[in-house]
Amino acid sequence: MNDFAMNDALTFLLPAATAMLMLVAVHLVFGLQVLRRGVVFADLALAQVAALGATVAFALGHPPAAAAAFGWSAGCALAAALFLSLLRFCPARIPREAVIGTIYVLAAAGALLIVEKSPQGAEHIRQMLTGSILTVGWERIARIAPLYAALSGAQIALSRARLTGAAGWRGWAGEVVFYASFALVVTTSVALAGVLLVFALLIMPAAIGVLYAERLPAQLAIGWAMGALASAAGLAASYAWDLSPGAAIVCALGATLACAALGKWLAGRGRRGALGRAARGLGLAVGAALAISAAWLIIAPRSDQPLLDTLEYAWPGVRWAYLTEREAGTFIEAEQFAARYRDEAEKLNALERRSRWQGNGLSDDELRALSSFAQSYGEMRRGEEFVMHEVRARARERLRWCLAGLACLGGLLLAGLPQGMWRVRSAASQPETPSSAQSFDTVSFRDASSPSSRVTLALSAASSPTVTSAPEPAAKDAVA
Amino acid sequence: MDTAVVSWRPGVRKARAALILLALLLLSGHGLAAMRVVTTTTDLKSLTEAIGGDRLSVAALVPPGTDAEEYAVRPGDLRRVRDAQLVVRVGVDYDLWLDPLLLQVGNPALARGGAAHVDASYAIALLEVRGAAIGDAGGHAHGSGNPHYWLDPANAEIITGNILEALLRLDPGNARFYEQRRLDYLALLRTKIELWTRQLAPYAGKAIVAYHNDWAYFARRFRLNIADFVETRPGVPPSPAHLATLLALTRENNIRVFVREPQQPAPQIEFLAARASAQVALLAANVGSLPGTEDYVALFEVNIASLRKAFAAATT
């Protein structure tokens, strides 16, 4: 990507990143309250009710940008907020999420029924619920920032005043204020960033904050820092790898939450040996994956092999290790022909595209001829791809016992090695009575270390369920 | 009253009975037996009506302004197809939801390959035929070709030909009527196409960015250069890298006109257009999806007026 493209990208990536920082902050403030109340899906319900309001306005003949449309959608959302504030009086036998889910589906279904009577309304709803973070301009940020600041400031003040936790009518007033400001935030931000991103921003940074801190300021600081980091990473990844930005940020947030939870779990069991535990856990996971892959390779060598396929995708050189010279030759030839056919077809398509506005244009008969050539190239390419697939499948079928053996061996080493290291370390620090699971593991590990018995052990392990039972006691040990 | 006076004589009575019978026959041949035709889209409805006039009663299943590719069938559609004597569809994987409907109705004449089933795409020179999906380029998931062929008004000759062929088979009594109406309509379209081509000639080759790859046939007919699309994969919002490429493309090729359909999302197109101080032309891909596009000819009138307005505003 050249400098020009980078500059172009910055003109919308900078506002998008700024908007994300703002969204992370405001959703964190409300997300902490949402988690505390256990009304995780309230945001979806409120956004859908606001969309219903906009649909009603549209059906009544108001243009989408009119004040009436905003009035309808804000009015409906506030009415729903008032209803949600009454949830505290709802009998305990009915979970709150049941009521929230009901509001959501009713609003969605109602909007659908209204839309059926007014065409073009469907797109209107979709636009209210799928904002695009990339097209946020500075003007829009400047317009929304004061609203967000005021609402989250009020929310923090409210929780400081201990109004939210109060009983009776005083507490209810607190609830009304919470849900009303929440409704305003959600309807604004869903139109800005879309339902997917708003839900993720509401839950995940708040969850990280709650995991690591007890007090509100610390929760806010940790949640915001992690949320901002994940958003930046997601946005950068979406630019670097050409991904949809909302989905990329949601995945980055999810990964951050997973790391945070894992870190908490490791740290929660004493600081000492946390690294060793992490290594052991990772070893067990990879070992189990290898063992399952080995079993799958033996059962169905010709079907998709996720692990082997991923390896080959990342390092195409892996396949030369198991293809014979002749097979490799066939494979390379088929690959080259497939690439050539694809290029030829692309060339024809580009020619047709240009001919629409350059030169004299193609006649219908010329176009038909060109299409049939392009189609033939497509068929021939598929033929070559079939050859590539078949060569690999046959080699895998031929070598499945050997490959599975290697995988099992690797799995055992990975699952066993860190554990052995861990035992040495813990034995040095404190005396420990070896459990039956550990002794089993040690035996298999020592057996595997003698080269002649390696393959036979791995083979018997792969064909019998012992291979899955091997990591199991160790996992039990880790949990205990 | 007069008949009451003369009806005493038996000869006149016979003549009167014959007259009534003749009238009934004429009635049945005319208004009573208007053939019921169901089309999937409003465009095909308009073209079928152009041939059939008042001797056909045509209904389109997909309401205007609704995405025909993702149409959800309603109970009324089942009734409409059950009562239909002829079904006309777009084909090219565009209206696949019709097949389960036809299966449910179970009328062999209406099923694919039946005498009363018209695939209007038959014999059309299709664009972007891939066979298998070759790369991601093109923004379509249709291996068998780009299905928006009705947006080339010259294709109306083949489409109406396919419809006429079925009508001649099912209703040979009105053959002459249908044939003449089709010829008249095609003559009208030819003069219109000449006019439209002249109107768009100044903008031939000028680069445009469209939201989705709906305008391939339209571009080919009127020599327009649709340089890129905002949505490269159906339903997936554009990535930052693609948006950056579009911005660079807009500047390098001095693109001043963007094209969007009313049911397509506005934010990205509006954002790009504002950045490039370009114009957004709102075009209708189906009859009835914009005000003033009541029939097939009006659809092109509106679209071409909208494009000309955008180009004129962009050059000043």
Closest Cβ opposite residue A134 in set B134, B223, B243? B243
Q: Give the mean model confidence (pLDDT) for residues A317-334.
A: 89
d(CA A164, CA A162): 6
DSSP one-letter string for A73-122? HHHHHHHHHHHHHGGGGS-TTS-HHHHHHHHHHHHHHHHHHHHHHSTTHH
Confidence band for B286, pLDDT divided at 50, 70 and 90: very high
- Report CA-CA distances (Å) from A191 to A26, A51, A186, A194, A199: 15, 10, 8, 6, 13
Quick one: how many helices (H) and strands (E) in chain A?
19, 0
Which pairing describes strands B207-210 and B225-229: parallel, antiparallel, or unpaired?
parallel
- Report CA-CA distances (Å) from B25 to B11, B20, B29: 21, 9, 6
User: Are A9 and B262 a contacting pair at CB < 8 A?
Assistant: no
Closest Cβ opposite residue A379 in set B66, B131, B241? B131
- Interface probe for A, chosen from B69, B77, B121, B239 (most Cβ of A below 10 Å), is B239
User: Are A11 and B275 a contacting pair at CB < 8 A?
Assistant: yes
Choice between A21 and B145, residue whose per-residue pLDDT is larger: A21
Q: At what angle are helices A168-193 and A3-37 packed, to 10 degrees?
A: 160
Identify all chain A residues contacting B263, using CB atoms and an 8 Å cutoff.
120, 122-123
- Closest residue by Cα to residue B88 from B146, B127, B55, B46: B46
* Beta-bridge partners for B37: B58, B86
Contact of B175 with chain A, judged by CB distance below 8 Å, is answered with no
The shortest C-alpha distance from B137 to chain A (Å) reads: 9
Residue A135 DSSP code: G
User: Are A357 and B270 a contacting pair at CB < 8 A?
Assistant: no
Contact of B242 with chain A, judged by CB distance below 8 Å, is answered with yes
Question: What's residue A162's pLDDT?
Answer: 67
d(CA A446, CA A441): 9
DSSP one-letter string for A172-207? HHHHHHHHHHHHHHHHHHHHHH-HHHHHHHHHHHHH
Confidence band for A271, pLDDT divided at 50, 70 and 90: low
Instruction: Give every CB contact of residue A238 below 8 A, 6+ residues apart in sequence.
Output: A244, A245, A247, A248, A249, B239, B240, B241
Which pairing describes strands B257-260 and B207-210: parallel, antiparallel, or unpaired?
parallel
CB B167 within 8 A of CB B52: yes
CB A300 within 8 A of CB A308: no
Complex confidence, ipTM: 0.78
Closest Cβ opposite residue B64 in set A119, A122, A239? A119
Question: What's residue A220's pLDDT?
Answer: 93
**Closest chain B residue by Cα to residue A385:** B132
Whether A356 has a pLDDT exceeding 80, the answer reads yes
* Beta-bridge partners for B86: B37
Question: What's residue A424's pLDDT?
Answer: 53
Contact of B197 with chain A, judged by CB distance below 8 Å, is answered with no
User: Are A239 and B240 a contacting pair at CB < 8 A?
Assistant: yes
Contact of A374 with chain B, judged by CB distance below 8 Å, is answered with yes
Contact of A118 with chain B, judged by CB distance below 8 Å, is answered with no
The shortest C-alpha distance from B28 to chain A (Å) reads: 35
The shortest C-alpha distance from B25 to chain A (Å) reads: 41
* Beta-bridge partners for A107: none
- Report CA-CA distances (Å) from A6 to A11, A12, A14, A232, B251: 9, 10, 11, 16, 14
- Closest residue by Cα to residue A156 from A61, A260, A25, A280: A25
Closest Cβ opposite residue B263 in set A120, A349, A352? A120
User: Are B236 and A244 a contacting pair at CB < 8 A?
Assistant: yes
**Closest chain A residue by Cα to residue B215:** A356
Whether A476 has a pLDDT exceeding 50, the answer reads no
Contact of B291 with chain A, judged by CB distance below 8 Å, is answered with no
Tens-digit pLDDT profile for residues A23-51: 999 999 999 989 988 888 898 899 889 88
Question: What's residue B56's pLDDT?
Answer: 94
DSSP one-letter string for A157-170? HHHHTT-TT--HHH
Phi (first) and psi of residue B38, to 5 degrees: -115, 130
Closest Cβ opposite residue B239 in set A243, A349, A374? A243
Whether B14 has a pLDDT exceeding 90, the answer reads no
User: Are B244 and A119 a contacting pair at CB < 8 A?
Assistant: no
Contact of B225 with chain A, judged by CB distance below 8 Å, is answered with yes
Tens-digit pLDDT profile for residues B113-168: 899 999 999 999 998 887 644 333 344 445 578 899 999 999 999 999 999 999 99
Whether A436 has a pLDDT exceeding 50, the answer reads no
Helix (H) or strand (E) holding A4: helix A3-37
Whether B2 has a pLDDT exceeding 90, the answer reads no
The shortest C-alpha distance from A371 to chain B (Å) reads: 6
Tens-digit pLDDT profile for residues A272-313: 677 777 788 888 888 888 889 888 988 888 888 888 888 888
d(CA A225, CA B74): 50
Q: Which two tokens stand for residue A326?
A: 């002749």
Phi (first) and psi of residue B12, to 5 degrees: -65, -35
Whether B191 has a pLDDT exceeding 90, the answer reads yes
A259 backbone φψ class: left, alpha, beta (φ>0; ψ -120 to 50): alpha
Closest Cβ opposite residue A352 in set B127, B224, B226? B127
Handedness of CA A286, A291, A296, A302 (dihedral sign): positive
User: Are A381 and B134 a contacting pair at CB < 8 A?
Assistant: yes
Question: What's residue A237's pLDDT?
Answer: 92
Confidence band for A254, pLDDT divided at 50, 70 and 90: very high
**Closest chain B residue by Cα to residue A354:** B225
Q: Give the mean model confidence (pLDDT) for residues A239-261.
A: 90
CB B204 within 8 A of CB B222: yes
- Report CA-CA distances (Å) from A283 to A328, A418, A439: 33, 7, 18
Contact of A65 with chain B, judged by CB distance below 8 Å, is answered with no
The shortest C-alpha distance from B202 to chain A (Å) reads: 12
Q: Provide the chain B residues 52-71 that lie in CB contact (below 8 A) with chain A.
A: 63-67
- Report CA-CA distances (Å) from A151 to A26, A177, A179, A180: 8, 10, 11, 10
Contact of A126 with chain B, judged by CB distance below 8 Å, is answered with yes
Q: Provide the chain B residues 144-173 that lie in CB contact (below 8 A) with chain A.
A: 145
How would you list the strands of the sheet with B35-39, edge to edge?
B56-60, B35-39, B86-89, B117-119
The shortest C-alpha distance from A343 to chain B (Å) reads: 10
Whether A427 has a pLDDT exceeding 70, the answer reads no
Choice between B280 and A65, residue whose per-residue pLDDT is larger: B280
Question: What's residue A432's pLDDT?
Answer: 44
Contact of A14 with chain B, judged by CB distance below 8 Å, is answered with no
Choice between A455 and A31, residue whose per-residue pLDDT is larger: A31
Whether B220 has a pLDDT exceeding 80, the answer reads yes
Identify all chain A residues contacting B270, using CB atoms and an 8 Å cutoff.
135
Contact of B220 with chain A, judged by CB distance below 8 Å, is answered with yes
d(CA A384, CA A114): 52
Closest Cβ opposite residue B248 in set A8, A122, A123? A8
Question: What's residue A164's pLDDT?
Answer: 58
Contact of A358 with chain B, judged by CB distance below 8 Å, is answered with yes
DSSP one-letter string for chain B? -HHHHHTTSHHHHHHHHHHHHHHHHHHIIIIITPEEEEESSHHHHHHHHHHHGGGEEEEESSPTTS-GGGPPP-HHHHHHHHH-SEEEE--TTSSTTHHHHHHHH--TTTSTTSTTEEETTTT---SS--SS--SSTTS---TT--S-GGGSGGGHHHHHHHHHHHHHHH-GGGHHHHHHHHHHHHHHHHHHHHHHHHHHGGGTT-EEEESSS--HHHHHHHT-EEEEES-SSTTPPPPHHHHHHHHHHHHHTT--EEEE-TTS--HHHHHHHHHTT-EEEE--SSTTSSTT--SHHHHHHHHHHHHHHHHHHHH-
- Report CA-CA distances (Å) from B187 to B51, B176, B194: 13, 17, 11
Question: What's residue A224's pLDDT?
Answer: 95
CB A180 within 8 A of CB A78: yes
Contact of B122 with chain A, judged by CB distance below 8 Å, is answered with no
CB A318 within 8 A of CB A312: yes
Helix (H) or strand (E) holding A258: helix A245-268
Question: What's residue A1's pLDDT?
Answer: 44
Choice between B71 and A228, residue whose per-residue pLDDT is larger: A228
User: Are B131 and A130 a contacting pair at CB < 8 A?
Assistant: no
Confidence band for B223, pLDDT divided at 50, 70 and 90: very high
Closest Cβ opposite residue B65 in set A8, A120, A346? A120
pTM: 0.74
